């Protein structure tokens, strides 16, 4: 007698995938054109056809804990070639958005970040925190001394900045650590069940080796080379990613120099740093790269009427664009000696940075972490990719 399998569709999951941008899912009639069209899909159990089938049936557990949904770079080739306009790329993007919420805790914060009505509240949290804590501690000075020029730390103490940013960053690390532990276990169990790997457990050493192997591809965004519809997105993504990397390096250098200089007899070394300083060059280049990269992403998304971008997508793009504009704006207005505008712009910049750190595991930027892990696991499992 043939073995039978009980399938329990999750109808609510199907509805949520539709609400997140995958509402054309039901048009799919499983012709497999999408898997043939995709240039980066593995030869063994290729995506996205099997994901479209599972999504149509509401098989949430097979999808949320599936590494393949993260291997998709949403280049749009499958969307364009789908004879039914089911938009498989949009469906996988919606499933990834759902997965981010699934693995990030607390879920109330994950849901809030997907609701545009909650955005004012999320932005108000750091804005009010800065003002209240700064006023209580005296680390916020609304009438700073301008005799030596505009210095942002005299308005908004670096201690006040770091007592908010460090806990926010630590919170993000903890949320990611807990989520990734579940994520790795789920994708491994699904891989075993689907025959993608025969390794019973994940060997830490082997996985780290695989992670190192995929990093060059990530840093070069080389997978976009195989795309045909949205290949130009490679430049925008590269500029944005390297902009973030450059600013991350600059932030850490400034942090180490500032707090390390407290040990010096002459006291701490505060900014602003000279425009001739190499660190300042890197900061300016990275800032410009971030602005240009996100501006190109906004233009690309706006022009692609056949591809859907949900609020979840736009939130990240505009947040990154706002970070670049306010960061550069605070510097330019300082150089122009526009004190009020410079301090106000700097304050908005700090609010956006807090939002970036604290809400990172719940935003689309989390895909950088989950996709990296999924690509490393795919390499570790030995699939042709």
pLDDT of 47-97, one tens digit each? 899 999 999 999 998 899 889 999 888 888 888 899 998 999 999 999 999
Alpha helices (H) in the chain, listed in sequence order: 11-17, 33-37, 49-56, 60-64, 68-71, 77-81, 88-103, 107-112, 119-137, 152-155, 158-194, 204-220, 233-260, 278-303, 311-335, 339-358, 367-381
Tell me which of 154-158, 308-312, 331-335 is least confident: 308-312
Average pLDDT, integer, range 9-23: 87
- Give me the pLDDT at residue 307, please: 66
The DSSP 8-state label assigned to residue 310 in this structure reads: -
Task: Name the nearest CA neighbour of 103 among 67, 52, 58.
Answer: 67
Summarised one tens digit per residue, pLDDT across range 256-308 is 998 888 888 877 888 788 899 999 999 999 999 999 999 999 998 887 766 66
- Give me the pLDDT at residue 4, please: 59
- Give me the pLDDT at residue 228, please: 77
Share of the chain above pLDDT 90, in %: 58
Give whole-number Cα distances, 29 to 18, 36, 86, 135, in Å.
Answer: 17, 15, 9, 61
- Residue whose pair of structure tokens reads 């491994």 in the numeric block: 188
Summarised one tens digit per residue, pLDDT across range 334-364 is 999 999 999 999 999 999 999 999 999 999 9
Rounded Cα–Cα distance for residues 341 and 347 (Å): 10
The DSSP 8-state label assigned to residue 140 in this structure reads: B
More confident residue, 91 or 221: 91
The answer on pLDDT for 28 being more than 80 is: yes
Confidence band (pLDDT; 50, 70, 90) for 1?
Answer: very low
Tell me which of 112-121, 228-237, 287-296, 327-336 is least confident: 228-237
Task: Name the nearest CA neighbour of 52 among 40, 69, 73, 71.
Answer: 69
Which are the contacts of 106, defined by CB distance < 8 A and separation ≥ 6?
Answer: none
> Are the C-beta atoms of residues 22 and 91 closer than 8 Å to each other?
yes
The answer on pLDDT for 252 being more than 90 is: yes
- Give me the pLDDT at residue 267, please: 75
In this structure, the dihedral spanned by the alpha carbons of residues 321, 165, 94 and 112, taken in order and rounded to 10 degrees, is -110
Which are the contacts of 221, defined by CB distance < 8 A and separation ≥ 6?
Answer: 234, 237, 238, 241
Mean pLDDT in the chain? 89
Task: Name the nearest CA neighbour of 98 among 298, 310, 354.
Answer: 310
Rounded Cα–Cα distance for residues 372 and 103 (Å): 15
More confident residue, 382 or 385: 382
> Are the C-beta atoms of residues 261 and 269 closer than 8 Å to each other?
yes
Rounded Cα–Cα distance for residues 82 and 180 (Å): 33
My answer on whether omega of the bond before 106 falls inside 30° of 0, hence cis, is yes
Q: Which CATH number fits domain 11-103: 1.10.1060.10, 1.10.340.30, 1.10.510.10, 3.30.70.2740?
A: 1.10.1060.10
Average pLDDT, integer, range 180-208: 87
Which are the contacts of 207, defined by CB distance < 8 A and separation ≥ 6?
Answer: 376, 377, 380
CATH 1.10.1060.10: which residues of the chain? 11-103
- Give me the pLDDT at residue 287, please: 97
Q: What is the pTM of this model?
A: 0.90
Share of the chain above pLDDT 70, in %: 96
- Give me the pLDDT at residue 303, please: 79
> Are the C-beta atoms of residues 289 and 242 closer than 8 Å to each other?
yes
More confident residue, 29 or 246: 246
Structure tokens at 330: 């605070």
Give whole-number Cα distances, 185 to 122, 178, 188, 204, 374, in Å.
Answer: 31, 11, 5, 13, 12
More confident residue, 384 or 30: 30
Confidence band (pLDDT; 50, 70, 90) for 253?
Answer: very high
The answer on pLDDT for 385 being more than 70 is: no
- Give me the pLDDT at residue 263, please: 81
Rounded Cα–Cα distance for residues 370 and 336 (Å): 42
The answer on pLDDT for 248 being more than 70 is: yes
């Amino acid at each position: 007698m043939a073995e039978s399998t009980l399938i329990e569709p999750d109808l609510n999951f199907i509805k949520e995938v539709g609400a997140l941008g995958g509402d054309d899912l039901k048009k799919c009639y499983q012709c497999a054109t999408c898997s043939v069209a995709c240039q980066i899909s593995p030869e063994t159990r290729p995506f996205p056809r099997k994901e479209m089938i599972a999504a149509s049936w509401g098989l949430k557990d097979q999808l949320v804990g599936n590494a393949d949904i993260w291997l998709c770079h949403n280049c749009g080739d499958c969307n364009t070639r789908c004879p039914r306009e089911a938009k498989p790329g949009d469906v996988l993007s919606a499933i990834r958005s759902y997965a981010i919420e699934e693995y990030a805790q607390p879920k109330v914060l994950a849901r809030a970040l997907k609701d545009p009505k909650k955005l004012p509240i999320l932005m108000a949290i750091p804005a009010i925190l800065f003002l209240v804590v700064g006023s209580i501690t005296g680390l916020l000075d609304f009438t700073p001394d301008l005799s030596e020029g505009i210095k942002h730390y005299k308005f908004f103490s670096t201690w006040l900045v770091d007592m908010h940013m460090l806990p926010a960053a630590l919170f993000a690390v903890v949320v990611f650590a807990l989520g990734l532990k579940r994520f790795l276990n789920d994708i491994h169990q699904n891989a075993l069940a689907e025959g993608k790997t025969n390794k019973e457990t994940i060997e830490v050493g082997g996985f780290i080796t695989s992670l190192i192997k995929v990093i060059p591809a990530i840093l070069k965004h080389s997978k976009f080379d195989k795309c045909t519809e949205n290949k130009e997105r490679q430049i925008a993504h590269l500029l944005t990613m390297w902009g973030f990397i450059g600013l991350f390096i600059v932030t850490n250098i400034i942090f180490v120099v500032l707090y390390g200089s407290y040990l010096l007899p002459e006291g701490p070394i505060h900014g602003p740093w000279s425009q001739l300083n190499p660190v300042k060059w890197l900061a300016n280049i990275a800032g410009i790269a971030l602005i240009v990269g996100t501006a190109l992403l906004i233009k690309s998304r706006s022009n692609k009427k056949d591809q859907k971008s949900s609020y979840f997508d736009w939130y990240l793009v505009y947040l990154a664009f706002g970070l670049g504009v306010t960061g550069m704006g605070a510097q330019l207005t300082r150089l122009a000696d526009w004190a009020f505008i410079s301090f106000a712009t700097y304050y908005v910049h700090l609010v956006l940075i807090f939002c970036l750190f604290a809400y990172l595991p719940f935003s689309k930027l989390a895909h950088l972490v989950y996709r990296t892990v999924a690509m490393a696991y795919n390499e570790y499992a030995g699939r042709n990719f």
